[in-house]
Amino acid sequence: MTNSTLFTSPVLTWLDNQGKNSDIVLASRVRLARNLKNIPFPNRAKRSDLIQVKELILRLLPAIETATNLHFEYIEIDKLNHLQQNVLAEKFLISQKLINNPENRLVLLSDDLSVSIMVNEDDHLRIQCRAPGLDLDSCLKRAFAIDDAIEAYLNIAFDEKMGYLTAYPTNLGTGLRATVLLHLPALVITQQISKIINISPQLGMTIRGLFGEDSLGNLFQASNQLTLGFKEEELIENLSATVQEIISHEHDARKALLNYSHDKLENRVWRSFGILKYAHSISQHEMLNLVSKVRLGVDMGIIDETKADILNLLLIAGQKNYLQNLNEMDNMTPQEIEKQRATTIRNIFSQLQNTPTP
């Protein structure tokens, strides 16, 4: 890899706070699942099958570069050490499944990390395209361009009735999973989030906490539930419209907080800032909950001593493998990690303070 900051920088262009509705939607992602015709799915493939897929895809790198106008590199997962593998997962570029069986698994990464294509994960190909803010359209457009470039050379498993064939039936049809990463602190504080989660299936949407755990950091992922019976554009349009509704509810909840609990909110926001800025040891859990409140404070104009990016940066920089990799130590104790996390947070705070506001 020539991308020297891949494992050491928390900055991701697709998480840079510059997109549409970036105050609430941190990022958009479209993922297409594709499989090569007449080769077993990876979980049933022989070693030679996996190697064949790998080699076929690598030959297509130039075509993918032309289609996207991006420079790509590929990483063989089993050539990475444990920390590097996990840093890629913490950066949302690969899945834990790819790490669990690293042999003959690849990830193709565009230089700006907006495209990551996993090879031999559940499906032969998982084409992932990302953009900051709410922008599923451009993600889909790019994913289609990559898919077209691949399908121009390779036969893809496709059934006239069913659509694209996938390892799991949940992806059958379009093979599309569109996801937006949402920051919904006001809906959590005003206890409206469970209502939204409860009705989401009726809207064809799945919404869940980013870190599995309920509402940790007030971060949620909303995805399309159906993959079959609709065109990709329809699925994305539906998800975008539903997300727009959620954004509008979050905005209303923020206004209500300002009107009815301004002082309480202000106190919470500033206390969170104080702890986050000065703690010398902190868990990821506490960090996420504090930085969410700080971010809310920035978004609502309560606090101007830091920038909204603090959330985006800590989302990556506060993770344990990233922190250990920074120290080139893969055997740090939980205490050492919590200390390193606090140091990293303080460094990022001082960087954000020194940068002049544009």
CA 68 to chain centre: 20
29 is in an annotated binding site: yes
Counted residue by residue, the chain has a size of 358
**34 is an annotated ligand-binding site residue:** no
CB of 316 to a second copy, least distance (A): 23
Q: Minimal distance in Å, beta carbon 290 to a second copy? A: 10
Residue 175 annotated in ligand binding? no
To a second copy, the closest distance from the beta carbon of 264 in angstroms equals 8
DSSP label at residue 24: T
Half-sphere exposure at residue 252, Cβ-oriented, CA atoms within 13 angstroms: 8
What is the rounded CA–CA span in Å between residue 171 and residue 24? 27
Q: Is residue 167 part of an annotated ligand binding site?
A: no
State yes or no: 83 annotated in a binding site. no
Of 308 and 342, nearer to a second copy (C-beta) is 342
- Select 14 or 273, whichever has its Cβ closest to a second copy: 273
- Was 30 annotated as part of a binding site? yes
Q: Which helix (H) or strand (E) holds 138?
A: helix 136-151
The C-alpha angle with vertex 74 and arms to 68 and 75, in degrees rounded to 5, equals: 145
**Residue 177, annotated ligand binder?**
yes
Q: Quick one: 263 or 328, whose CB is closer to a second copy?
A: 263
**By 3-state DSSP, what share of the chain in percent is helix, strand and coil, each rounded to 5?**
50, 15, 35
Find, among 13, 47, 41, 36, the residue nearest to 138 by Cα: 13
Residue 301 is labelled as binding a ligand = no
Q: Computed over its alpha carbons, how large is the radius of gyration of the chain?
A: 21
5 is in an annotated binding site: no
Write down the least CB distance from residue 257 to a second copy, Å: 14
User: Which tokens go with 296?
Assistant: 């809310």
Specify the 3-state DSSP secondary structure of 95. coil
Site for a second copy in 251-280 (CB under 8 A): 263-264, 266-267, 270-271, 273-280
DSSP string of 162-184, one letter each residue: TEE--SSGGGTBT-EEEEEEEE-
Structure tokens, 65 = 């570069």
Residue 67 · residue 150 · CB < 8 Å: no
For the bound state, the minimum distance from the C-beta of residue 260 to a second copy, rounded and expressed in Å, comes to 14
27 labeled binding residue: yes
Closest CA to 312 of 7, 22, 5, 109: 22
Q: How far is the CB of 318 from a second copy (least distance, A)?
A: 16
**Going residue by residue from 318 to 347, which x/- string records binding to a second copy, judged by CB under 8 A?**
-----------------x---x--x-----
| Owner of token pair 């996996």 | 50
Residue (93 or 288) nearer to a second copy, CB: 288
The nearer residue to a second copy, 123 or 338, going by C-beta atoms, is 338
User: How many C-beta neighbours within 10 Å does residue 6 have?
Assistant: 18
Q: Which is nearer to a second copy, 89 or 332 (CB)?
A: 332
Answer yes or no whether residue 101 interacts with a second copy by CB under 8 A. no
Q: What CA–CA distance (Å, rounded) separates 121 from 105?
A: 7
**Interface mask (CB under 8 A) for a second copy, residues 167-206, using x and -?**
----------------------------------------
- Considering the complex, state which of residue 94 and residue 314 has its C-beta at the smaller distance from a second copy: 314
Residue ranges in contact with a second copy by CB under 8 A: 263-264, 266-267, 270-271, 273-281, 335, 339, 342
In the annotated binding site for ATP, the residues are 27-31, 126, 177-181, 208-213
